[in-house]
Structure 1
């Protein structure tokens, strides 16, 4: 049977709750797009914190998210994603509001800790919601489309922010952080309205109703979980861990481009993802997810080499074009990563332990996001621009090696390979 993936067929295959959740994603992330490319610039150039301190403050989001991931996953399995997500969104609103007016590193740190609380539970909670609402092959497609819409919101926000913010006018940064806080009201309304009846907690096994759900120790004893988590960590270190720290800092300090170019680069990232995601989903459907990860690693390596080349021609049109090209190539790799890794975790999980599996995924994600900005801040603060790019490229090749190791430890079904359809019986 042909399995053609189109926007219409995908939308029609979704349950009502899935449509509600997906239809608001771009609006939820618009505020995040306003602040994502410019937070480290705000801390360093507007508030006057050193680049090293700014990198450390940025890492607080991931540190808190990492600490809270384990308890968050357990709470989601026990009480459901909805309650935990509402608490996290409330912390996000307060954190963004404080950050809008922060003039001291301690105050900014408090704000970023609160934002980290939301980050610690939102990835886990929304992935648990998605996995509960959507099943089968559509789940991998959903993760990909959801990612494209997230980037649509972030990209549009980046364009607006690039034109709006001005390092000589601190009030422009205050406004974008307040807008970021306001957009968190959208998912809160969904959780209190159309999604209020979605239950992410799995029911006990009828054959063994008293058996406890898998704990973290039991899950982490599975070799495949350890390998996919290590792969996730490295991917976040050299990927998303650099998007709020290393990339904007390199583009400003080494490539010499303007904030407008940085904002446009996120728009290019969004455009590539939105335009190519369905095409990539068609290509990877039924293929081994680990092979897709290897291709992604090579694409990312090429993107970092492009960014490194911009440092050879700073403050030129060629540097600006190179920064935009970096984000476009990087985005192409993202379209391969986001549908695959979350799908592997959720295909390994049971309904009763889904929160914990996604918490491990989140912890690996945040671990890379913690070390990424710190490493970038230290390397760039000490003038080691070539070492920074070399670190990123080496990390890309490490992902390819880890994907090979993971492939040997997961079943074909978890790796995204469809079961062959039974042959038709010959007519009598």
Structure 2
């Protein structure tokens, strides 16, 4: 079996990965304490901050499709640079915010940059590498981002402990600077694709939505992305408020997940190399279903150490499911898309994350408030349907998307 090309043979890969690392390092400074960060750096009440961030997130929903059209009209590299510039300006402006309108404006700029980043980065990576090399580059990007995100969290804690309230302003400025550095790395990666060929206006998103196998893939992906929201959204409420676990456990579980994702991405990708991407995704879904079951079973364990260890075991299984799903999901979406419409295809694929970010907080809270087993049952059933759908789609999606050439 031929060996997948290494990223050292992919022109522009090293500066691209360096930019991803610096970007994630900056994000790690503020993402774990987003609302607190914004409250402290602006001085606004928490209720005002929460409403402003929600409104900004709704604005960000429109960024994915707009970014997709811009990628196809111009090129992914230019749009990706634009997302860095927007976020650099946004974080540099946070310390100047003094009211609700200014908060919504600045947070919306950041949200637009955040949401547009994902289709742009995926599209540019698809230009840099092809086939099995693309899968490897996706895995390396995920590894670099997870390592940097974890380091950013540690630096954030250090900044707050050393500088107190001033530390939040320092975090804002350092994060803005990180996006400037990431832009420089992207410029060094070189221009590896010009503008795609012009195409009739009637194609665009109408053609994407007419691709029924791809739309089916996106529908299945929505179940996976909702499951990925377990750790950041569902688990804090479930573990502490429902099961009475100690609050410090959340930090342990988050760190455990981050470290294992960073360490396991490449080994899992190598293990998956001979498998169909659809089958690899379905296996990841099956493992996530087991994780949902284990989270539910944790409620039946005695309070104290048994329940804590039950949550740890469930999180380990959840992390494995995450690892199995992530790289094949990105790769199959990129390989399904025609080159001239890749931006739009990946924008629709990434919109599942935007929808999950809006739906999960209210939906998960409602299910946990009604009856906690409902959450795990709902997620398990939706994942089961998604796995079956992905397996059926393996015969309808392009052959080169289902199995990477040379893998």
Task: Report if TM-score (shorter chain) is over 0.5.
Answer: yes
TM-score by length of 2: 0.84
C-alpha separation between the residues in 2 aligned to 1:306 and 1:315? Answer: 15
Shift of 1:98: 5.6
Q: Does 1:305 find its partner at 2:293? A: yes
The alignment yields a C-alpha RMSD, in angstroms, of 3.6
The residue aligned with 1:3 is 2
TM-score by length of 1: 0.80
Shift of 1:176: 4.0
Further displaced range: 390-399 or 229-238 = 390-399
The residue aligned with 1:181 is 176
Further displaced range: 391-400 or 91-100 = 91-100
Q: What does 1:20-419 align with in structure 2 at a 5 Å threshold? A: 20-39=15-34, 49=46, 54=50, 60=55, 62-97=57-92, 109-161=104-156, 175-191=170-186, 193-203=187-197, 214-239=203-228, 241-256=229-244, 260-310=248-298, 316-380=304-368, 382=369, 384-416=371-403, 418=405
Number of matched residues? 403
Shift of 1:302: 2.4
The residue aligned with 1:423 is none
Secondary structure (helix, strand or coil) at the match of 1:184 reads: helix
Residues 402, 66 of structure 1: CA spacing in aligned structure 2 closer, same or farther, 3 A cutoff? Answer: farther
C-alpha separation between the residues in 1 aligned to 2:80 and 2:322? Answer: 25
Cα contact 1:158–1:267 (8 A) shared by 2: no
In structure 2, runs of 5+ residues without a counterpart are none
The residue aligned with 2:8 is 12
Shift of 1:29: 0.5
Cα contact 1:235–1:368 (8 A) shared by 2: no
Shift of 1:253: 3.1
Secondary structure (helix, strand or coil) at the match of 1:353 reads: helix
Residues 249, 37 of structure 1: CA spacing in aligned structure 2 closer, same or farther, 3 A cutoff? Answer: farther
C-alpha separation between the residues in 2 aligned to 1:119 and 1:129? Answer: 16
The CA deviation string for residues 43-70 of structure 1, in whole angstroms up to 9 with x for no partner, is: 89998747xx95x766556533321211
Residues 114, 388 of structure 1: CA spacing in aligned structure 2 closer, same or farther, 3 A cutoff? Answer: farther
Cα contact 1:296–1:337 (8 A) shared by 2: yes
Residues 417, 183 of structure 1: CA spacing in aligned structure 2 closer, same or farther, 3 A cutoff? Answer: closer
Shift of 1:230: 0.7
In structure 1, runs of 5+ residues without a counterpart are 205-209, 421-428
Q: Identify, as 1 or 2, the structure richer in helix.
A: 2
Cα contact 1:158–1:263 (8 A) shared by 2: no
Shift of 1:218: 1.2
C-alpha separation between the residues in 2 aligned to 1:351 and 1:180? Answer: 33
Secondary structure (helix, strand or coil) at the match of 2:400 reads: coil
Shift of 1:315: 8.1
